[in-house]
Structure formats: C-alpha cells, structure tokens
Amino acid sequence: MFRIQDLCARSIKEVLSGISLEVKNGQVLAILGKSDSGKHLLGEILAGKCPAISGEIITNNYRRHTHRQKTQIQTGYLANPVQLEEFLTGFELLDLIGSLYHLSPVARTQRIAVLANTLEIGQALYSVIESTDPATRQKIALAIALIHSPKVLILDEPAQYLDFVGQKQVERLITDQTNEGSSVVLITDNLELAERLADEIIILDQGQILLAGTLQRLINQTKSRAHSLDGVMKTIFGYA
Amino acid sequence: MLKGTVRFWQIRLNQLLNKTTGPDYLLVLLLVCFVYLIGRIWSHWTILSISTTILLLVNIGLYTSVFGLWILFLWRRLPYWAAIFLLAISVGWVSTYNPALVVITNINGPGIYSQLLTMLIGIGLLGTITALFELTKDYQPIRPRQFLTVFSRRQVFPSFTGMGNLVTMGVLRIGRDRFFIATLTFLIFTLVANGMGWFPIGNWLIILTSGMVILSIIISHRLTALSSSLLERFPGLPTTVGAIDFAVSIAGTLILAVISWALLFGLLQLNVVDTVWLTGIFLTGGIDALLISRSARLLDNYGLLGGWWMVILQLVALGMIYLFLWQLNLSGVLLVLGVNMALMVILTSYQESTESVTIKTSWLS
C-alpha cells in the first residue's frame, strides 16, 4: 500500500499543490497530464529523488521522513529520461544494483535471468550500455527498477522506445508485479497502455488533481462520447 | 558543397570539443601550464627553447593528425585498429627521431629543464592521439564492441557483497575508458621507446610521473562521476554517499598502486624501499581525495565551517604525502610527484563541486 497526503513541491518547470492519493496492494494507478502538469515531478518525489516542501509519503505503513531506508528499499523507480552507467554492461549494472539491495548471489542470478528472459534482452545484456540501442537501455532500466521485487513501483514512461512486442512485455511485467501484490504508479502519455493496465486514473493539471477515479467514472464525469481514455482527455483538454 | 564542408568541420569540431572531452583538454592544458611555470622557476627559459618546443609540438600534432585522419577514413569500420596503427606510428616516430633528445641538444645538456620539456612533448602527443580517438566515435558501428567487452562479466561473483561489487565496477568503469587505455598504452610505449635511447633514469621517471599525473586525474575524474551519479540515478538504493565514496576511492587507489608497482618495480628496477614510499604516497593521495570529496559535500550542505575537521584531516594527509616524498631521494621526482598530488587534489575537488552543483540544478529542473 502506498499513500501520499497533502504533498506540495516545486521545481523550475512544475509545481504540485496539495496532492493526496492512495494505491492499494496489487493496483495500478495511472497518472496522466500535459507536459508541465507536475506528473514527472510527482514521480521524482515518490522515488525520493527530489525533496517535497510539505506532505506525507507512506509506504506500507512506514513514513518516508522517519523510516527513509525502509521505504527506499521497498521502492523501485524507472526514471525518464533513462540514465545508466555507460561504461558497464547491463548484466554488471543489474548485478551491482542487486548487490546494493543486499540480494544474495543466487537470488541475483535467478532474478537477472528471469527479467532478461521476460524482456527478451538477449545477448545485448552483455554489451557495454554505451553501445546499446535505446530500446535495450529502456529494458535494462526497467529491469533495474524491478531487480529487488519492490512493493511499490514507480514507472515514468516505461514503454517509450519500445515496439509493440516490447510494450506487451512491459505490460506482462507490470501485471506479474501486481499479481504478487505490488502497488504500481504508472506515469505516462501512452493512453492505450494506461487504459489497459490502470485500475485507477488521476489526471493532473497545473499541479493539482483535475479528475480521479476508474476509467468508467472519468467517462461518466466528463460525459465523453468516445468511451475511452482518449475521449476523456479530448473532452478535458479540447484537442482535435 | 561549401555548406556541406563547413557542416562537416562543425561536427568534427563539436566532437573534438564538447562536454565530455572538454575536461580532458582542460586537464592537459592545466598540466602544461603547471610544467611551464615550474620550468620558468627552475631554469632560464630562453626564446629559442620556447620556440623549439612549440615547433616540435605543432609538428608532432600535424604529423599524427594528417596521416591519422586519412587512416581513420579508410578504416572507418575498424576504428580501434586505426587507433592502434596510429599509436604504433607515433611510437615509431618518437623512438626514431627521439624528440626529447633534440630538445636536450637545443638547451645544452640534460637536467630537470630538459626532463620537463620531454614531458611537454609527451603531453602534446598524447593530446593529439586522444583527439583522434574522439574523432573515431562517429564511425563506430552500433553493435557490442569487443574491445570494451573483453573483460565483461557474465556470472555473478558469489563472494561480492554490495561494496565489493562497487569496487569491481569502479575498476571496470575506468578500465573501459578509451582515454585511460590510450594514456596507459602511450605511457608504456614511451617508456619502451625511450629505453632504446640513452636517457638517464631521471628522464624516465619524469615521463613516468607525468603519465601517472594524467592517470590519477582520469581515475579520480571518472570515479567521482560514478560516485556522484549512482545515487542520483538510482535514488532508491539503500546505501549512502559516504559508502560509495569509500568504495570508489579504494578502487582508484588499487588501480594506481598496481600500475605504479608494475611500472616502477618492473621497468625501472627501483628498490623495495622506494616502492614502499611511492605506494604510501598513492595510498595517502587516495585518502586525501576521499576526504576532499567528503568535505566538498559538507561544505555545500553546511557552509564554510561545516567540514572543518575534514580540512584538518586533509592537511594531515597532505603532510604525510610530503613526508613520504622527502624520503625519495631522486632528482626531479619530488617536484613532479608534488605537482601530481596538487593536481589530483585540485581537480578532484573541482570535479566534485561541479557534480554537486549539477545534481542540485537537476533537482530544480
């Protein structure tokens, strides 16, 4: 379970004012919005990358500012844009991150094998990251976020650079995580992906929650004719 | 046609001078300035010797650039072979014409002055080769590079815990750096090339220590980048900045100690006592670099007086370095090793503060 209360934060581009939300175990919450709506800043704050001005972040009953280590170890984060250690291979980086999460060598081997197979990284796993293509980098970054089987997963644009096969692999991974009881926060502009995966959806605008609820509830609230997330967004933001 | 040519050279210029290569050039430039200043203080610097040095540097640069560029164009599919060939040409040239000997003849006999000039030439040549390495970037095909993945790990090492793994990755990260490999190869080849001549041991030591200066700067530069970026990139990691700093400092010191031992003991047949003192210098240098990185962070977070005890520890470490230096009774080495340490200290702290500022700026963006 993952909960935030009255979160306020600011960066040069984005602002968040009074955000409260909750993601239950095994649920996917999609956060949508325009470019500077605050969704990327929200991801960074939830991952512990940026400090918040005020507010409470609670991960499985641990408050962030009193139990930082315990909340961090339960969180996995995929940043956007992806930044990796260019001079290491994907395997080495996964092994390093796994060891820093105190995974045993056996557990590390098994986990890396499972993730590499699911994401079909193949031999590129043993190439220096600098020489790999964007899709492979994205898959390695995703595997890093999942290496320690986190209870809370924050994914900022997980399917970017991936083809339709890669997108399906990501979907399967997210579904596997939720089946194991993890809470997933999905920050994306990919409306089809959000529609397929999300149990709840939050639409942000200028740092505030504009709409929140299930897809059906959003359709009802906006009275969208299209009966899809795309229709909801068109109704709200008025694009053609 | 003209527009295309201009664009071509614009791209080449951008490749030569960008955010990644900029610091490396800055390091070389700083080193040259240091050496020049020392030369000014140490000896009478005449117009004749300055012009000879500049001409030699320009000639070496032109020689390698003109031929090297054509080879790179011809062999665009195998740039590392071209680089090795280029290196071989340079070493052959150095060993045949012995530019250091030319300089020595010009300034009437060997000594600390001529040794410093030799170092200048070495740096000039190194800069040219590195620039050409940078030029090859565009031609490298998108596929796993065998050159870089020779030492790739394919199995989890059972005994490695988090920090042990971090040290290993630190070592791998430096070992795969093109600039590092180029510097190390150049250092070894220059030593071998000079070995064919009749240089005094002091001259060898000057070249060696100048190479060590560059190597230590590269190591501290790259490890600081790893240390600073890891938590920034993976904020969920249950580790601390201090732990990462410690692990990567150990990695850097290990590399320096191994290279120093191999070169000094193997090639120069130094006695055990001198080797022990030199190892002491490098170890203390590593500790000093760690202290500097820690105090730079404390300074950034808690103000000027926040890291005062770190500053005292740094002074102690520096004092130890100089005590060890005085134990080495070798002509010219004291000075250059002193410069080595000073450069390492200044550039590490500079790099560290830059990284810190970058992190803070990225938080705001």
Give the pLDDT mean for A129-138: 88
DSSP symbol at A126: G
Q: Do A133 and B365 touch (CB under 8 A)?
A: no
Tokens encoding B207: 């070249």
Q: Do B235 and A72 touch (CB under 8 A)?
A: yes
- Give me the pLDDT at residue A152, please: 92
Q: How far apart are CA B186 and CA B122, in angstroms?
A: 9
* Structure confidence by residue, pLDDT tens digits, B50-75: 544 544 454 444 444 444 444 444 44
B15-20: long-range contacts (C-beta < 8 A, 24 or more apart)?
Answer: B15/B134, B15/B135, B15/B137, B15/B138, B16/B131, B16/B134, B16/B135
Find the chain B residues whose C-beta atoms sit closer than 8 A to any C-beta of A: 140, 142-145, 148-149, 152-162, 164-166, 169, 172-173, 176-177, 222, 226, 229-230, 232-239, 363-365
Confidence of residue A54 (pLDDT cuts 50, 70, 90): confident
Q: Are A148 and A80 in contact (CB under 8 A)?
A: no
> Is the preceding omega at residue A81 within 30 degrees of 0, hence cis?
yes
pLDDT exceeds 70 at position A107: yes
- Give me the pLDDT at residue A226, please: 75
Q: How far is B210 from chain A (nearest CA, A)?
A: 26
Q: How far is B169 from chain A (nearest CA, A)?
A: 7
Confidence of residue A196 (pLDDT cuts 50, 70, 90): very high
Neighbours of B2 (CB within 10 A): 6
pLDDT exceeds 90 at position A153: yes
- Give me the pLDDT at residue B240, please: 77
* H/E stretch holding A21: strand A15-23
* Residue among A95, A126, A131 minimizing CB distance to B165: A95
* Structure confidence by residue, pLDDT tens digits, B160-173: 777 788 888 888 87
- Give me the pLDDT at residue A201, please: 94
Greatest mean pLDDT range, A220-224, B112-116, B297-301: A220-224
Q: How far is B86 from chain A (nearest CA, A)?
A: 23
Give the pLDDT mean for A90-115: 90
Q: How far apart are CA B222 and CA B77, in angstroms?
A: 28
Q: Are B31 and B123 in contact (CB under 8 A)?
A: yes
Mutation target vs A (from B146, B224, B231, B233; most A CBs, 10 A cutoff): B233
Q: How far apart are CA B55 and CA B46, in angstroms?
A: 14
* Residue among B153, B162, B177 minimizing CB distance to A100: B162
Residue A22 φ/ψ, nearest 5 degrees: -145, 135
Tokens encoding A166: 């890669």
Q: Which amino acid is at A71?
A: T
Give the pLDDT mean for B258-277: 69
Burial tier of A161 (Cβ tally within 10 Å: 0-12, 13-18, 19+):
middle
Pairing of strands A200-205, A28-33: parallel
Q: Do A83 and B169 touch (CB under 8 A)?
A: no
Count A/B contacts: CB-CB distance under 8 Å.
119
Look over chain A and give the mean of its residue pLDDT values, rounded to a whole number. Answer: 89
- Give me the pLDDT at residue B330, please: 55
User: What is the ipTM, given to two decimal places?
Assistant: 0.76
Please report, rounded to a whole number, the percentage of residues in chain B having pLDDT higher than 70.
27
- Give me the pLDDT at residue B211, please: 67
Tokens encoding A93: 């980086």
- Chain A CA closest to residue B178: A87
- Give me the pLDDT at residue A176, please: 92
Task: Tell me which of B365 and B148 has the higher pLDDT.
Answer: B148
Partners of residue A101 in chain B, C-beta under 8 Å: 162, 237-238
- Give me the pLDDT at residue B156, please: 74
Partners of residue A93 in chain B, C-beta under 8 Å: 169
Task: Tell me which of B41 and A67 has the higher pLDDT.
Answer: A67
